[in-house]
């Protein structure tokens, strides 16, 4: 093994002690969630956090929306984010942390006292900034919980003829509807409502600003010990599965949240139900992020995984169980069979 590779590995191992400091600098829009730093992938113009995660324990990182974007340590992460060679990434981290693994101008890279003092000041400033951000985020979540509960209590039962429900051809189940016509989907975490997803008549979807999304979920039906629980992405997919099977369904709301929700369900239910990850099949998207996220979640919690089975004459742009259900409905109507 070459000396350069050994040095890169040494930097990668040493950097783990500063994992949160480094990831917060490289991915400042992210936040710590358990043992992971969850953020936006800035290299592909990601608009929201959730699909890109870095393990603060091992340095492994992964983008659920891009199957080719993954790595095993913080050196490869820096290399990916900055578009540079791994050796250049290792040298940059070595300089930043003053590790002394590489040598600069014939001298060991061990920082002098002035530099070390400066680095401590920088680290303290970063810690204070993160603490302030964490406090602000916690306050925003509490405010969102209050707004979610208030809006849910004021809302009326959803009309079964709401444009979104009609377009997805699923019942309203227990959804509610505000006076301006938006459907309200309650999101739960820790046994209480923490957020709402609003679906406008035109299908536009929005969460409450500042409300928890990662780790939160929508629920259809009630889990029964010894039964089966589906875990899927969107509410329409979950409503389709619940409508056709009668089994309870948990909706993670997006692919990047499947793993967190699956882990939560496995912990809360303590193995009392069979978990089935009902994944989306993003066949026309590079890396098929729906399948990747579903496979990862199923592997992590020991669940089964299920995908739509596409008939030969089915359009390629369909991706989930609701798409397949609605396509079958059209075929039945065209054949004179009516609805299910």
Cα separation, 43 vs 260, whole angstroms: 23
**pLDDT value at residue 244:** 96
**pLDDT value at residue 285:** 86
The sign of the dihedral angle between the CA atoms of 314, 317, 320, 321 is: negative
**pLDDT value at residue 106:** 43
For residue 10, give Cα distances in angstroms to 3, 51, 87, 286.
Answer: 11, 29, 12, 34
For residue 282, give Cα distances in angstroms to 4, 289, 319, 326, 330.
Answer: 40, 6, 5, 17, 21
DSSP string of 85-132?
-HHHHHHHHHHHHT--SSEETTEE----HHHHHHHHHHHHHHHHHHHH
Domains of the chain with bracketed CATH: 3-111 (3.90.580.10), 154-334 (3.40.1360.10)
Each residue's pLDDT expressed in tens, for the chain with a length of 340 residues: 578 888 899 899 988 888 888 998 888 878 888 778 888 887 766 555 567 889 988 899 988 777 778 899 999 999 888 888 898 889 889 888 888 888 754 444 434 444 455 555 656 666 677 777 778 888 988 999 999 999 999 999 999 999 999 999 999 999 999 988 999 999 999 889 999 999 998 889 999 988 998 899 999 999 888 889 999 999 999 999 999 999 999 999 988 899 999 999 988 887 788 999 999 999 988 889 899 999 999 999 999 999 999 999 999 999 999 999 999 999 988 887 655 6
Among the listed residues 161, 209, 208, the one whose alpha carbon sits nearest the alpha carbon of residue 186: 208
**pLDDT value at residue 180:** 87
């Amino acid at each position: 093994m070459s000396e350069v590779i050994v040095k890169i590995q040494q930097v990668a191992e040493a950097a783990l002690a500063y994992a949160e400091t480094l990831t917060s600098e490289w991915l400042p829009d992210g936040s710590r969630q358990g043992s992971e730093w969850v953020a936006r992938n800035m290299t592909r113009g990601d608009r929201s956090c959730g699909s890109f995660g870095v393990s603060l324990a091992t340095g492994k990182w992964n983008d659920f929306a891009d199957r080719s974007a993954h790595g095993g340590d913080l050196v490869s992460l820096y290399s990916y984010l900055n578009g540079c060679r791994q050796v250049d990434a290792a040298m940059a981290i070595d300089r930043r942390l003053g590790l002394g693994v590489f040598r600069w101008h014939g001298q060991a890279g061990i920082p002098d006292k002035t530099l070390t003092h400066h680095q401590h000041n920088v680290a303290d400033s970063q810690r204070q900034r993160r603490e302030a951000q964490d406090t602000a985020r916690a306050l925003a979540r509490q405010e969102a919980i209050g707004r979610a509960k208030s809006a849910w209590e004021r809302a009326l039962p959803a009309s079964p003829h709401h444009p979104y429900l009609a377009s997805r051809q699923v019942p309203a189940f227990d959804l509610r509807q505000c006076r301006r016509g938006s459907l309200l989907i309650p999101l739960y975490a820790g046994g209480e409502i923490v957020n709402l997803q609003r679906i406008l008549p035109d299908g536009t979807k929005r969460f409450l600003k500042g409300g928890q999304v990662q780790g939160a979920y929508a629920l259809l039906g009630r889990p029964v010990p010894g039964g089966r629980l589906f875990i899927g992405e969107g509410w329409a997919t979950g409503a389709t599965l619940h409508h056709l099977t009668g089994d309870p369904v948990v909706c993670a709301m997006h692919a990047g949240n499947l793993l967190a929700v699956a882990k939560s369900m496995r912990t809360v239910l303590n193995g009392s139900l069979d978990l089935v990850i009902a994944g989306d099949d993003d066949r026309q998207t590079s890396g098929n992020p729906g399948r990747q996220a579903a496979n990862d979640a199923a592997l992590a919690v020991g669940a089964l995984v299920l995908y739509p089975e596409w008939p030969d004459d089915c359009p390629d742009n369909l991706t989930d169980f609701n798409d397949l259900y609605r396509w079958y409905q059209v075929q039945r109507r065209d054949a004179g069979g009516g609805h299910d």
